[in-house]
Amino acid sequence: MRIIVTKDYNDMSRKAANIISAQIITKPDCVLGLATGSSPVGAYKTLVDWYKKGDLDFSEVTTVNLDEYRGLTHSNDQSYYYFMNDNLFSHVNIDPAHTHIPDGTEPDAQKACDDFEAIVKNCGGTDLQLLGLGHNGHIGFNEPAEDFPKFTHCVDLTESTIQANARFFDKPEDVPTQAYTMGIGTIMRAKRILLIASGKDKSAIVKEALFGPVRPQVPASILQLHPDVTVVLDEEAASCL
Residues with active-site annotation: 67, 136, 138, 143
Residues 194-223, mask of contacts with ligand GLP (x by CB under 6 A): ------------------------------
User: Which residues 18-37 are close enough to bind ligand GLP by CB under 6 A?
Assistant: 35-37
CA dist., res. 179 & res. 142, Å (int): 10
Q: What is the DSSP letter of 19?
A: H
Residue from the set 68, 141, 186, 238 that interacts with ligand GLP by CB under 6 A: 141
| Minimum CB distance to ligand GLP, residue 181 (Å) | 7
Q: Which stretch binds ligand GLP (CB under 6 A): 52-60, 89-97, 127-135, 169-177?
A: 127-135
The CB-of-172 to ligand GLP minimum distance in angstroms stands at: 19
Distance CA 157, CA 141 (A): 8
Residues within window 36-55 making contact with ligand GLP, judged by CB under 6 A = 36-39
Q: Which stretch binds ligand GLP (CB under 6 A): 9-17, 51-59, 85-93, 126-134?
A: 126-134
Pick from 65, 98, 102: nearest CA to 84: 65
Q: Which is nearer to ligand GLP, 37 or 144 (CB)?
A: 37
| Extended strands (E) in 67-185 | 67-69, 99-100, 128-131, 153-156, 178-181
* CB of 48 or CB of 130, closer to ligand GLP: 130
The rounded distance, in Å, linking the Cα atoms of 19 and 112 is 31
- Helices 9-26, 41-52: axis angle to 10 degrees equals 50
CA angle 133/20/51 to nearest 5° reads 125
- For residue 163, state whether it binds ligand GLP (rule: CB under 6 A): no
Residue count, binding to ligand GLP (CB under 6 A): 12
Strands 99-100 vs 128-131: parallel, antiparallel or unpaired: unpaired
Q: Which residues bind ligand GLP (CB under 6 A)?
A: 35-39, 66-67, 132-134, 140-141
